[in-house]
Amino acid sequence: MNDIFEALREQNEELSSIVSELAEDQLALPSACKGWSVSDVLLHLAQTNEMAAASARGQRAQVPDGWVNSGNSVRTDINDIVADAVERERGRDNEVLTRWVNSADDVANALEACDPAGRVLWVAGDMAPRTLATTRLAETWIHTGDVCHGLAIGQPKSNRIWHIARLVHRTLPYSFLRSGLEISGAVRFELTSPMEDTSVWCFGDDKADTAITGPAIDLCLVAGQRAIAQETSLDGEGPNSETVLRIMRTFA
């Protein structure tokens, strides 16, 4: 797979190609996010990009309280925080679009400039810069789908979601913790690429007790809370399969 920073930039470019020429009435269309317009989605992405870039540069004074978690606790109020932020800063749609474009370039540059061995504070605690870049990719990809839904167009397919599927697998312990559960035993993913090459992406031990199989795009949609596992082509076997399909996530 291509480098995560390259993948993040490509995802930003994909979304830009969809929204850059939209008229204000199109930016005002309702997205797949309940209560949010296409413009609101871009505003949310701009806000979170800006916060991630500031955190990557160690500019904590520019990060409002609540956006990052410097402790080991699990935040349960982040949805309220981001919803309030969008409500406060709604503005002219063209200005929002420009703000998102600027933030998309900035966050990729800020994260790539970090010491690869360093740690960056974010909602779930501290993480490697590459991991935060992957979460930005995951959020931008899922919100690209929200925008496409609002515009009644199909979302482009890409193997960039390999990074997202890997993130879902690597953060399963956090997903269990977030749900107040303990993970027991190893979990393996065997996922088919969304492209015509029909390649299979494998994450985890071959001898894992629990295995999740199916289309990678379905897994990413379920983890991004845009689909229910039972309504997709995903299949699970093993003691933790039902729980994994219910609680896996790509976000804090």
- pLDDT tens, residue by residue, 43-60: 999 999 999 999 999 886
Mean pLDDT score, 8-31:
96
Q: What is the pLDDT of residue 61?
A: 52
Topology agreement, domain 4-151 and domain 161-247: no
Q: How far is Cα 95 from Cα 100, in angstroms, rounded to an integer?
A: 9
Q: Does 41 score more than 60 pLDDT?
A: yes
Question: Is the domain covering 4-151 a CATH 3.40.50.2300 domain?
Answer: no
Q: What is the pLDDT of residue 178?
A: 84
- The fold for domain 161-247 equals Nonspecific Lipid-transfer Protein; Chain A (3.30.1050)
Q: How far is Cα 82 from Cα 92, in angstroms, rounded to an integer?
A: 19
Q: List the domain boundaries for the chain.
A: 4-151, 161-247
pTM for the whole thing? Answer: 0.91
Position with higher pLDDT, 183 vs 231: 231
Q: Is there a contact between 239 and 180 (Cβ–Cβ < 8 Å)?
A: no
Q: How confident is the model at residue 69 (pLDDT cuts 50, 70, 90)?
A: low
What's the pLDDT tens digit per position in 124-154?
Answer: 778 999 999 999 999 999 999 999 999 999 9
Mean pLDDT score, 70-76:
53
Burial 146-185, CB ≥16 within 10 A → b, else e: bbbbbbeeebeebbbbbbbbbbbbebbebbbbbeeeebee
Q: What is the pLDDT of residue 192?
A: 97
Q: Does 1 score more than 60 pLDDT?
A: no
- Count of other CB atoms within 10 angstroms of residue 23: 9
